[in-house]
Amino acid sequence: MKYYPYGTTPSETPEWFIKALSGTMMDATKIPLWHLDSSVEDFSVPAAFFLEMPPNYTLFKHGHPCQRFEIVIKGSLDLGDGRIAKAGDTFTADPYTLYGPHTAGPEGCTTIEVFSALEGMFRLLYEDENGEMQEADARKNEVPPTYVPLPGDAEVTGGS
């Protein structure tokens, strides 16, 4: 059994995870990832990761092709539909369901996202300018046009 006391995360980011996110503006080494066997590149197993959003950061409207469960552990998150999620609140999203935009509260927001399949984390669904659902796969260096990197990611990866 692997044990991670509160406030700690897996110490090493798997190389395959860094490679999978290399085409995005995200710094994979800053994203704590829990994967059933992080030594193996297996995108079919469940996985979870920390998402730390600074104050007032807006995560664009999107979805994933898998089940998703999210727990707010610090701060608050405007769910874009009039509801505000606070520490301890949970929410889910079905496969191929768009949600958001989500906006972190004035104190920021930290969540743990659990995906039924790691693959779903990399495959982002979004609406194009005609309202049609499209998919971008980070493993293929694809990024949705409305994606805004978290502050700090752009400086680390050279994005803008």
First to last CA, the chain: 41
The tokens describing 18, both together, are 């860094």
Angstrom distance (rounded) from CA 93 to CA 8: 27
d(CA 160, CA 148): 9
Helix (H) or strand (E) holding 125: strand 123-127
Please tell me the pTM assigned to this model. 0.80
Q: Which two tokens stand for residue 4?
A: 């991670």
Report all structural domains of the chain as residue ranges with CATH numbers, in order of start.
15-152 (2.60.120.10)
Please state which of the ranges 1-5, 62-66, 101-105 shows the lowest mean pLDDT: 1-5
- Among 2-6, 50-54, 89-93, 121-125, the range with the most confident prediction by mean pLDDT is 89-93
Number of CB atoms found within 10 A of residue 104's CB: 22
Structure tokens of 73?
């552990």
32 in the Ramachandran plot: left (φ > 0), alpha (ψ -120 to 50) or beta? beta
What does the alpha-carbon distance between residue 111 and residue 147 come to, in Å, rounded to a whole number? 18
Q: Is the pLDDT of residue 134 over 50?
A: yes
pLDDT confidence band for 30 (50 / 70 / 90): low
Question: What SS3 state is found at 156?
Answer: helix
Considering only residues 112 and 157, tell me which one the structure prediction assigns the higher pLDDT: 112
Q: What is the mean pLDDT of residues 11-35?
A: 68
User: Whole-angstrom Cα distance, residue 50 to residue 30?
Assistant: 9
